[in-house]
Amino acid sequence: MAKVTAKDLVEHFDFEVLAGHEGVYRAITTSDISRPGIEMAGYFTYYPAKRLQLLGRTELSFYQQLNDEEKQERMEKLCTYDTPGIIISRDLTAPDELINNANKVGVPLMRADVTTTRLSSQITTFLETKLAKSTAMHGVLMDIYGIGVLLTGASGVGKSETALDLVRRGHRLVADDSVEIRQEQGNTLVGRAPDLIQHLLEIRGLGIIDVMTLFGAGAVRPFKRIALTINLELWDDKKAYDRLGIEEVTVKIIDSEIPRLTIPVRPGRNLAVIVEVAAMNFRLKRMGINTAQEFSDRLTGVIEEGDKEDF
């Protein structure tokens, strides 16, 4: 899992660090954020110390009503060695007790000039992206008619050549050879290219080409949600391939199940057209139009009618 620290938050959001500077490298392990309102009232039994703590106007205005002894006690319990950071919103003034205890324990105390609700949303989105489960796969990721299609298969089967043909047909390249995949917002898989090979395509016999330079900025995109995987494999005469398209096969990537098609490769087959049509057909299925199932139902109806006539 990727590592995120308070220093990453400071650099990304331009937070002001008020105290606990030595603790800015504490690891943040969850995207959940706590607003310790009930803790300000003195209830720390279920205090989620390993979460980022966000203090807004409500929490700090209640805190100001406490006596000096209660203020010191609350801030001692709020600042623990497990707490990755405390953030004050709306550019509010940090209590002296909070600053002292943050320095004592080494909890980074940060401040932003954004409203509490908006700040919570921004930080959560940032952390969910950074802490998302990730993996890398060998393949080519394309955007075909708005569908993120991941082409997989053995090395040399023709993935990059198919991608080049698809780019010439007006579709967009996301990544070639290596695809970095993150699982974001539940089971959504988002793929992108490593920075080193972004916009590049390797064609055997030709070498490395820059797709954006050759075909323009409209031929590439930085990332895309993966909706369909297509596995290219050399044609095997002994293998029975699906001829109707009724079978629903999926492949597991991280924790998500993605529909998978297998397309056999042999001379004379126009793979770019086949992949393009596969993406269009997948789009139709998502709209509720399943041609293969409709044909199967019609065929079943014809057979049943024939059986009735025999009787």
Q: Is 134 annotated as a binding residue?
A: no
Q: Is 34 annotated as a binding residue?
A: no
- As a whole number of angstroms, the distance between CA 293 and CA 311 comes to 28
Q: Is 104 a catalytic residue?
A: no
Q: Choose the catalytic residue: 3, 138, 168, 269.
A: 138
Residue in this structure with the two tokens 């709020």, named with its chain if needed: 78
Q: Is 202 annotated as a binding residue?
A: yes
CB 122 within 8 A of CB 203: no
Is residue 34 classed exposed, middle or buried when 0-12, 13-18 and 19+ CB atoms within 10 A define those classes? buried
Beta strands in 221-292 (DSSP E): 223-225, 228-234, 250-253, 256-265
Q: Residues 6 or more apart from 223 whose CB is under 8 A from it?
A: 174, 190, 191, 192
Q: Is 286 a catalytic residue?
A: no
Q: Is 243 a catalytic residue?
A: yes
Q: Is 158 annotated as a binding residue?
A: yes
How many CB atoms sit inside 10 A of residue 259's CB? 15
Give me 299's structure tokens. 């065929």
Q: Is 156 annotated as a binding residue?
A: yes
Q: Is 191 annotated as a binding residue?
A: no
Q: Is 153 annotated as a binding residue?
A: yes
* DSSP annotation of 304: H
Q: Choose the catalytic residue: 26, 51, 71, 159.
A: 159
CB 18 within 8 A of CB 101: no
Q: Choose the catalytic residue: 177, 192, 225, 283.
A: 177
Q: Is 7 a catalytic residue?
A: no
CB 248 within 8 A of CB 281: no
Closest CA to 208 of 198, 216, 218, 221: 198
CB 72 within 8 A of CB 50: no
Q: Choose the catalytic residue: 238, 243, 266, 308.
A: 243
Q: Per the annotation, where are the binding residues for ATP?
A: 153-160
Q: What are the residue numbers of the active site?
A: 138, 159, 177, 243
Residues annotated within the binding site for Mg(2+) are 160, 202
Binding-site residue ranges: 153-160, 202
